[in-house]
Amino acid sequence: MIDHLHGAAELCNLGFTCSTFHFVSIGLFSIVSESEIQDHLLQDGEVSFGRLLQRTGDTKCLIFCDKVLEASETEKEILPFEGVINLYHKRPVEAAKGARRSPDAVLPSRRQSGSSPGQRADSLVWAEVCNDLIHRVCTLFPDNFVGVCQLPQSPGVPPANCIPELRRCVEELGFVGCNLNPDPSGGYWKDPPLTDPYWYPLYEEMVRLDVPAMVHVSSSCNRNFHGTRAHYLNGDTTAFMQFLHSDLFKHFPTLRFIIPHGSGAVPYHWGRYRGLSLEERQRAMEEHLLKNVFFDTCVYHEPGVRFLTEVVPVENIIFGSEMIGAIRGRDPKTGEYFDDTKKYLDACSHLSDKELHQIFEGNARRVYPRLDALLTQRGC
């Protein structure tokens, strides 16, 4: 199974999953041994990775999962705050315990909201640090993690500026994809749409490297649009609309994009988009768009996932989840976490075993050919 994992290190098990870490301050990192990591697995299934990553050099470096940032003062007092990176998350570590949603491969990348608007030089340094950290995690657990990179995007800076870092991550670090922010301005949409030639140099390199991009906005700087509750979903819908109204894939027939969160409002208005494609493009979406655009299942309730899988062709759906989602609590009606998205697919009785395999693994391997080649080499 591959999981498209959203968060601050995005983790993707042969599906997709994202794990989010908050970067409080930046330093240089060195990985400790796997046995030392295992020492921090607690008996009750919780995890406190107090020394998963150690700092080297003089710069203080702290990284906390959201639960550390929300911890009480008493809890914080017992955590090492200086000289180490702390990863602390009060949730069962299913992958470590071999539980019901243990991914076969996880594609980690930085937290989406972690690439907030910055200057060109800042964005480059930040992207390099995040991507190097992801690579270290992949190096420590090569059988579990395969990297997906952050691009050094900034408002008003041409996307061609991202090409050297994309090349470095794919050709030197072994990454299999990237994340692409369609709105580096943070909610003001000042750059040209994704279908404009402004983006073409980056697309040409993506095609050459044969890597897809997950289209995901970052933090919102516009107070009219809350980040995870509005800006994210608006961005998903906007990206799909831009693709629909263009001839982008005539120019780049092998270019591939993944739109997260079930593609925002798109499934609910599938008829509208089908009609627009037929009227304006004189082509069905299956011919015009769906060979290049895919959707993940990071939707927080069963009816939504069921509707997504009934409306959108199964060939275009990739399993997606969030280690730390926009909603982090339990559903009082079920007692389960809202962001445990696998159970919603398991409950979709209309999906055959073959279709579930497509969603959980087959489609991801097709959309990420470098991932497929790596897994095939490993005998998976």
- Which residues are known to be catalytic? 322
Q: For residue 261, give the 3-state DSSP assignment.
A: helix
Contacts of 360 (CB under 8 A, 6+ apart): 1, 2, 14, 15, 319, 345
List % helix, strand, coil for the chain (3-state, nearest 5): 40, 15, 45
Q: For residue 55, give the 3-state DSSP assignment.
A: strand
Residue 38 parent element (H or E) = helix 34-38
Q: Read off φ and ψ for residue 154, nearest 5 degrees.
A: -145, 155
Q: Which residues of 61-83 are buried (b: 16+ CB within 10 A; e: fewer)?
A: bbbbbbbbeebeeeeeeeeeeee
Please list the alpha-helical segments (H only) found in 98-231: 120-140, 163-167, 200-209
CA distance 128 to 26: 11
Q: Read off φ and ψ for residue 105, nearest 5 degrees.
A: -150, 140
Q: Is 315 exposed, middle or buried (0-12, 13-18, 19+ CB in 10 A)?
A: middle
Q: Read off φ and ψ for residue 311, nearest 5 degrees.
A: -95, -50
According to DSSP, the residues that pair with 22 across neighbouring strands are: 64
Q: What angle do CA 318, 324, 330 make, to 5 degrees?
A: 100
